[in-house]
Structure formats: structure tokens, C-alpha cells
Amino acid sequence: MTVHNSDINHSLEPFSGSCLCGSIKFEIHRKYLNAIHCYCGMCRKAHGTAFSTHALATPSQVQWTEGKSLLTGYESSPGAYREFCPVCGTHILVHGQSGDDSLAFPAGTINGNPALTILGHMYTDDLVSWYVINDNLPQHHQWPPGFGSNDD
């Protein structure tokens, strides 16, 4: 069931995404997607990998088209929530992590393999020894509020 968002810009072709089992689906209505790689210990645990890659959006750009009520949240740090699908375990959304209303969608959940603009690496102090960063993108100790999500 679609949860209607009256702020959506319907002139844009949306990006769509879902969890692995398809119980939860969403659309991101933006011209293009910015993303960051996060190496913090919580992302590592939440995703089972060396880092997470999150595509960024504001609430006015997101429409839930299926299963929004299924989202199961875990408060991984004060005020920061990680929402996942209780059927297949896929992490769908992080919010509250940067002190504003920006939403972060794990990039692996987005359909069709669209291009992302990777803005940089976050929490690189926590990088594990078994992964090496091989590019020259900016590295940040923390996640600045509003970073990457305020444009469309």
C-alpha cells in the first residue's frame, strides 16, 4: 500500500528500491543520488560488511509504496534509528544519525544499479584492517549534519 507524500515532486523519474524479499518498497524522487561510505562499527555490524554505502534523501523526496508498517527499528545510538525488514533482515533506512531529518538508504537496496555520486568516506578512524580504501575521495571523522542530502 502506498503511503502518499504530498511533498513529492512527481515531475522526476523516481529511483525505486526494496528489501531482499520485496515486502518493503520505496521510491526516491530526486534528480540524482548522492551517497557516502560509512566505516563506523555500527554500520559494520548492521550490514555484515566492512562498510555501508548510503544514498541520501530528505523526507519530502521519499514515498513508501509497500510495507512501510513492517519497518522494524533499532536505536543503535541515541536518536539514531536503523530500520530493517523483519522477514528477510535487509536494512532499508537510517535516520537521526546526523542530527537533522535526512534519510540514508543502504545503496544495495536500490533497484536497477543506478549511478551514485560518492561524496566521501565517513568515520574512517574505525576502518577495519581487512579493508583498504583505494581512492582519493575526502575522508571524514564524523558525519556533518545535512551532508549530501540538501540538494535534489
In this structure, the strands spanning 91-95 and 80-84 are antiparallel
Q: For residue 109, state whether it binds another protein (rule: CB under 8 A).
A: yes
Among 84, 123, 143, 147, binds another protein (CB under 8 A): 84
- CA–CA separation, 45 and 70 (whole Å): 21
- CA–CA separation, 44 and 107 (whole Å): 14
For residues 62 and 27, the answer to whether their CB atoms sit within 8 Å is yes
Work out how close the CB of 150 gets to another protein at its nearest, in angstroms, rounded to a whole number: 20
When the beta carbons of 3 and 88 are compared against another protein, the nearer one is: 88
When the beta carbons of 58 and 90 are compared against another protein, the nearer one is: 90
Q: For residue 121, state whether it binds another protein (rule: CB under 8 A).
A: no
Among 7, 101, 135, 151, binds another protein (CB under 8 A): 135
Q: For residue 146, state whether it binds another protein (rule: CB under 8 A).
A: no
- CA–CA separation, 92 and 47 (whole Å): 10
Q: Cα 89 to chain center, whole Å?
A: 15
For residues 120 and 28, the answer to whether their CB atoms sit within 8 Å is no
Residues that bind another protein (CB under 8 A): 18-21, 35, 37, 42-53, 72, 74, 76, 82, 84-92, 106-109, 113-118, 128-132, 134-135
